Amino acid sequence: MPFDLDEIHIDLACGIGPDGHWHGWFAIRVHADALRPLGLHPDQPSAKVVGASPPGWWHAAAERNSRRHR
């Protein structure tokens, strides 16, 4: 794992959702300085968006294909 134990925090919660089924939620928090060696810290140029987002049809096709391969 690229992070030390004191650089990452994971929360997990489970419960019955509004539809009556069990659901799980999780949150992962990583200390900002731990992202620097990976080139992901917001202050680094490599963490910025450098181009346009793909068109809407591309996202829709990716979602359709992901459901098809389950």
pTM of the model: 0.47
CA gap 25, 12 in Å, rounded: 6
Per the structure block, which two tokens stand in for 3?
A: 């992070």
C-beta separation of 30 from 7 below 8 A: yes
Looking at per-residue pLDDT, the higher value among 35 and 42 belongs to 35
Reported as a pLDDT band with limits 50, 70 and 90, residue 3 is confident
Number of domains in the chain: 1
CA atoms within 13 A of residue 36's CA, in its CB half-sphere: 6
The predicted structure's pLDDT at residue 2: 76
Pairing mode, strands 22-30 and 8-16: antiparallel
Looking at per-residue pLDDT, the higher value among 9 and 44 belongs to 9
Q: What residues make up the domain containing 52?
A: 5-68
Q: Over the chain, what is the mean pLDDT?
A: 83
